[in-house]
Structure 1
Amino acid sequence: MASLKVVCALFMCMVVAAPLITEAALTCPQIQAGLAPCLGYLQRGGVPAGGCCPGIKRLVGSATTTADRQNACKCLKTVAGAVKGINPGYAAALPSLCGVKIPYKISASTNCNSVK
């Protein structure tokens, strides 16, 4: 329980810092920050929190190159494996709930190197 609180606190710090990052490459910390408001939905379902879909939309809009999309895919897989209790079905449904298209299936079996 304490480790989840630490992860959430770290995510919230990244959410605050993410808008200050203006580098061209999309980084895993930026992706984690964008996903932080989605954590409750990813674990329990229901309705995504207010900041979740705007964060997802920002991330999708920021992934403008193949390298960005592959990096995002790899990061999503890493985060999904590191954070306990993420429901794969909720993760797969999130892009549709937020009205965005992601050019790959959010799944542990996705080959991120094939993402274009």
Structure 2
Amino acid sequence: MESKVIFKLTCVLVACTLVVSAPSAEAMTCDFVFSKLFPCLNYISGSGGPVPSPCCAGIKSLNAAAKSTPDRKTACSCLTQAAKGVNGLNIKLIASIPNKCRVHIPFTLSPSTDCSKVR
């Protein structure tokens, strides 16, 4: 009888240890999104040309970090809100970044993107 109680207690302690020590995935934030795409700012507010390599590195890093649908929706929302709120951005240049950087993202970089449809 005592061994059953000890076994159950051990199982509970092991389960608690696993839950407490499990690494938690950090949620996508607009600060993270903006930090990755900050190197693109001069490009999207200018007249074009080649996309700077730090900009491409940022979009690739953001794409790799947005592993779940909620992460992708958050990234989309952050980007569309920023595009709506900043004057002087070239929308065509913004939309061209993924293609020029050879990165597939599941939504169009545009102020009019419906982020609720992102998967």
User: Structure 1 length as normaliser, TM-score?
Assistant: 0.76
**Once the two structures are superposed, what CA deviation does each residue of 1:42-95 show, in whole Å capped at 9, x if it has no partner?**
111112223111111000000000000000000001111222211110011000
Structure 1: tracts of 5 or more residues without a match: 1-21
Mapping of 1:101-116 within 5 angstroms? 101-116=104-119
Matched residue, 1:13: none
Counterpart among 30, 34, 37 of residue 35 in structure 1: 37
Please identify runs of 4+ aligned residues in structure 1 that moved more than 2 A: none
Instruction: Look up the SS of the partner of 1:51 in the other structure.
Output: helix
Q: What is the total number of aligned residue pairs between the two structures?
A: 95
Identity of aligned residues (%): 41
Structure 2: tracts of 5 or more residues without a match: 1-23
Q: Does 1:59 align with 2:59?
A: no
Larger radius of gyration: 2
Q: CA RMSD in A?
A: 1.4
Matched residue, 1:46: 49
Q: Does 1:80 align with 2:99?
A: no
Separation in 1 of the partners of 2:26 and 2:106?
20
